[in-house]
Structure 1
Amino acid sequence: MGKTAISLFLALQTILLHELPIAIFSLEMTKKQLEYRLWSLMSQFDCYRHLNLVPIRGERIRQHRAGLSPLTQEEMATIVSIVKIAAELPLYINDNRGITVASIASECRQVLAREGKLGLVVVDYLQMMAADTSGNRSYELGDVARGLYKLAGDLNVPILALSQVSRAVEGRNNKRPMMSDLSQSGILEMVADNIIFAYRDEYYNPDSPTQGVLELILAKARHGDTGTVEVLFDKSSGMVCSLAEYSYRYQ
């Protein structure tokens, strides 16, 4: 559905709009893979248009590295410009796949000490942190979820913890995820302040009339209303924008 891409977009927005450092702990993708996605995303942002960038689709960098389709001079110049900017962003990425809640806490405190502030912590994703050492995966996941919830309170920093949903959605006509679809849902539903599901109809229906539309379903809001918002999602770059803004620009 694009949960990693969405979280990277939110992280970059937090940096650009609020000038706050971000810490990303990725147990699924390597730092280099996330950097490639970041470069592609940044090439689409309006705030960098004065640099005369050309849009870089995510697969272009992979094709170049594989020797299948070399980058053009314009694409290479764009990446050079973006890398210079990205190197200055207060973005900390840790791709240690064996990281624990205690290690996350330690690194977050180091960022706070260095930067004086921290805007968001992203953990991608919860199930990868739940080692099945005790033979009870639900118990292990519960420990991780509770640990991250406590850490968010201790640091006074929001933690965006990504999660898988179960395959139960595959057997329903309406495949929009529900609370019960969260993997080992009980503990996650209990500790999370907010739960947002991502749904793209084209993922299940290639001929869907809502191509490029991402539904963000706020299924739980501890301090507000629930509901659904539709945004435009470019899966090739991870860019997210409002449908109203897109219609105004391109109609």
Structure 2
Amino acid sequence: MNEITAFNPTGAEIQSAESVPHSIEAEQQLLGAILTNNDVYDRIAAIIGPQHFYDPVHARIFETAAARIAKNNLASPVTLRAFLENDEGLKELGGAAYLAKLAGAAISTFAVRDYAQMIYDLAIRRALIALGHDIAGKAARVNVDSEPKDQIVEAEQKLYQLAEQGQAESGFQSFLKAVTDAVNVANAAYQREGGLAGISTGLVDLDSKLGGLHKSDLLILAGRPSMGKTSLATNIAFNVAKAYRRGTLTDGSQGAVDGGVVGFFSLEMSAEQLAGRVLAEASEISSHKIRQGDMDESEFRRFVEAAKTLESCPLYIDDTAAIPISQLAARARRLKRTHGLDLLIVDYLQLVRGSSDNRVQEIGEISMGLKAIAKELNIPVIALSQLSRQVESREDKRPQLSDLRESGSIEQDADVVMFVFREEYYKEREKPGDHEMDKMAEWQEAMSRLHGKAEVIIGKQRHGPIGTVELSFEAQFTRFGNLVKPWQQGGTPDY
């Protein structure tokens, strides 16, 4: 189409029965308005991108103009000519003269948001039609390897991506967009108090080591039984949900500006047991007392008040046992669509089911699936993991990467691997006999030094340092906290 026709808001280019929904006129009017007045771009940048244009030449014109405007350079028919003069598609439309026609035929700039919204809506309709054809085609092919339930999960995943991003497949993206996204993340960290790029765990020393919980990261939290994996995960979930504050994000959309909505897959404990742990921490009443109902009146009142406070916390628990990884992903998508989702916790990885009969391959499928969820939903995922028994046979019980069960795939897929370690637990079981006075004195000294302390050992971090973070641990409330350093008690730093 060499000639530019005026856009008719009532007609929107009547399509023939064979054509897919699109409006060349709306695209021309929008591009013409941008080339005439670059300030218009800021009003529509949050609505559409190059991928929403039906005509690929229009998409390239828009992308080139957007790149120049982002650098505070002029985007006009004259300046764009140098970048697009070798574009074969533009040559077919008339070359540089077509750019001048676009700018010359722009009627007005007041309706640009309407044009942008229309182009976006038509792009979504085209994607829905393509997705519908794809679903229908796969359903029509009766294939042993393609179960109907798997097709439903796949269709739901693609529909979710379409609803969230306006496109069924993201495909390749320009380096300019990737760089812009990276700068926005760094800017958010710079602007935020404490310099965190991600969500705060509520544990200061752990935050400073990790820089918070980063979007699209898979974090493995591993440990032997009784080390406090679930307690730490529950504490982080509670801290994030408690701090939740909704507001306007840097891109203009609504979301969590502090804290976040938390989804917790509890495959080992029931939702009621998990809620009991959160209540024990919030009310500072022993979880054992809560289970036994052994509370005095003041404690029970405190317990009820804590429960009322927690009612509004955006913490959602799913305690389905042995859930398949595909179902876990589908439920996470549904939660994000209905209530929002900023952090997902899975307790624990070995209890999720895969499709393979080979255990090592199954664990690999699960860890890859969790990483895929983190990237698709653009949220941090914390997955708890058991450690092998070889830890117990060593004199130094501190865990290391090789102690991860089926460690190859888990270690490979994870962005961060953390181990919970409480030396007090092991030292308690080394208590000497009452007749061994010297050993008893040594043991008591060691116990007093280790009492109420825990370590989180960061064994792998793709984007930062490894090392050990010391935390406090109050067993009766199953609560991890920030450990007060000697110089914070009036002493001096131990450099």
Q: TM-score, normalised by structure 2?
A: 0.45
Task: Give me the whole-angstrom Cα distance separating, in 1, the residues matched to 2:355 and 2:372.
Answer: 22
- Residue in structure 1 matched with residue 277 of structure 2 by the alignment: 37
Is the 2:322–2:353 contact (alpha carbons within 8 Å) kept by the matching residues of 1? no
Alignment of 1:94-243 (within 5 A): 94-115=318-339, 117-130=340-353, 134=357, 136-206=358-428, 207=443, 208=447, 209-243=449-483
- Residue in structure 1 matched with residue 484 of structure 2 by the alignment: 244
Letter in 1 for 2:336: L
Shift of residue 21, structure 1, vs aligned partner: 0.5
Is the 2:354–2:365 contact (alpha carbons within 8 Å) kept by the matching residues of 1? no
- Residue in structure 2 matched with residue 62 of structure 1 by the alignment: 291
Task: Give me the whole-angstrom Cα distance separating, in 1, the residues matched to 2:421 and 2:456.
Answer: 7
Structure of higher CA gyration radius: 2
The 3 A distance-change label for structure 1 pair 108 and 249 is: farther
Task: Give me the whole-angstrom Cα distance separating, in 2, the residues matched to 1:106 and 1:41.
Answer: 31
1:3 equivalent among 219, 224, 229:
229
Task: Give me the whole-angstrom Cα distance separating, in 2, the residues matched to 1:127 and 1:82.
Answer: 33
Letter in 2 for 1:229: V
The 3 A distance-change label for structure 1 pair 31 and 245 is: farther
1:14 equivalent among 240, 254, 257:
240
Equivalent position SS for 1:229: strand
Task: Give me the whole-angstrom Cα distance separating, in 1, the residues matched to 2:299 and 2:490.
Answer: 23
Task: Give me the whole-angstrom Cα distance separating, in 2, the residues matched to 1:26 and 1:250.
Answer: 42
The 3 A distance-change label for structure 1 pair 109 and 36 is: same
Is the 2:401–2:459 contact (alpha carbons within 8 Å) kept by the matching residues of 1? yes
Equivalent position SS for 1:176: coil
- Residue in structure 1 matched with residue 310 of structure 2 by the alignment: 86
Shift of residue 245, structure 1, vs aligned partner: 6.6
Is the 1:14–1:20 contact (alpha carbons within 8 Å) kept by the matching residues of 2? yes
Equivalent position SS for 2:321: coil
Sequence identity, in percent? 36
Equivalent position SS for 1:225: coil
Shift of residue 247, structure 1, vs aligned partner: 8.4
Letter in 2 for 1:90: P
Higher helix share: 2
The 3 A distance-change label for structure 1 pair 57 and 165 is: same
Per-residue deviation, residues 9-54 of structure 1 (Å, max 9, x unmatched): 11111123323110000111000100110101112xxxxxxxxxxx
Q: How many residues align?
A: 233
Q: CA RMSD in A?
A: 2.1
Q: TM-score, normalised by structure 1?
A: 0.87
Equivalent position SS for 1:183: coil
Equivalent position SS for 1:112: helix
Structure 1, unaligned runs of 5 or more:
44-54, 65-69
- Residue in structure 2 matched with residue 75 of structure 1 by the alignment: 299
Is the 2:349–2:385 contact (alpha carbons within 8 Å) kept by the matching residues of 1? yes
Task: Give me the whole-angstrom Cα distance separating, in 1, the residues matched to 2:360 and 2:397.
Answer: 24
Equivalent position SS for 1:174: coil
Equivalent position SS for 1:215: strand
Equivalent position SS for 1:141: helix
Task: Give me the whole-angstrom Cα distance separating, in 1, the residues matched to 2:300 and 2:318.
Answer: 26
Shift of residue 105, structure 1, vs aligned partner: 1.8
Higher strand share: 1
Per-residue deviation, residues 115-166 of structure 1 (Å, max 9, x unmatched): 3x422100000111146961x2111111111111111100001100000000
Work out which structure has the larger RCO, using CA pairs closer than 8 Å and 6 or more positions apart in sequence: 1
Is the 2:354–2:366 contact (alpha carbons within 8 Å) kept by the matching residues of 1? no
Structure 2, unaligned runs of 5 or more:
1-226, 244-257, 429-442
Shift of residue 246, structure 1, vs aligned partner: 9.4
